[in-house]
Structure 1
Amino acid sequence: MHVSSVWLWCGAVVLGALILSQFFQKPSRALLWMLRSLLVGCVLLAAFDIIGRSFDLHLPINPITVLASGFLGLPGLAALVVLHLWVLA
């Protein structure tokens, strides 16, 4: 296992633990927060798709991109755009 994948797994475990702890403390509040984040992610991706058409950019709307843009907001959307351009360039 590479060092970078270890850090990625550590981050995923910490994020998962934070989400689970919030869910068990106040389940209804955590569920509403997650649903709001997913809705924000869908709206961000849809807005980017509309604006990105003029620049010939397209991000697929799938669970991974919705979660990244929803939970991270605009920095997550920017990271998705950079990754998309980096992989396809």
Structure 2
Amino acid sequence: RNSIPIAQKIQNTSGTVTCVDLLDSALTKLQTYSKEHGVFEVIKIEKAAIENYYIQPDTYDYIVAVSSLEHVKSEEDLTNVLH
């Protein structure tokens, strides 16, 4: 729900939106919706559990972690991934 509007905003730049989700169904829906909204080329999907997703240092300008805390064991686990 947040990735499409962000992708639309950066569509005419060299940026991309990386979306991480554990569910195949969520990623499939995102691919469908991104095609419908004309931002398929801007969105990159990654299948992973949040606590197992490695964020390479200096890779992203912004990280938006919407509805992420309820999918990890603790706030500390989420903080560890984001740092």
Larger Rg: 1
Q: Normalised by the size of structure 2, how large is the TM-score? A: 0.25
Report which structure shows greater RCO (CA 8 Å, sep ≥6): 2
Larger helix proportion of the pair: 1
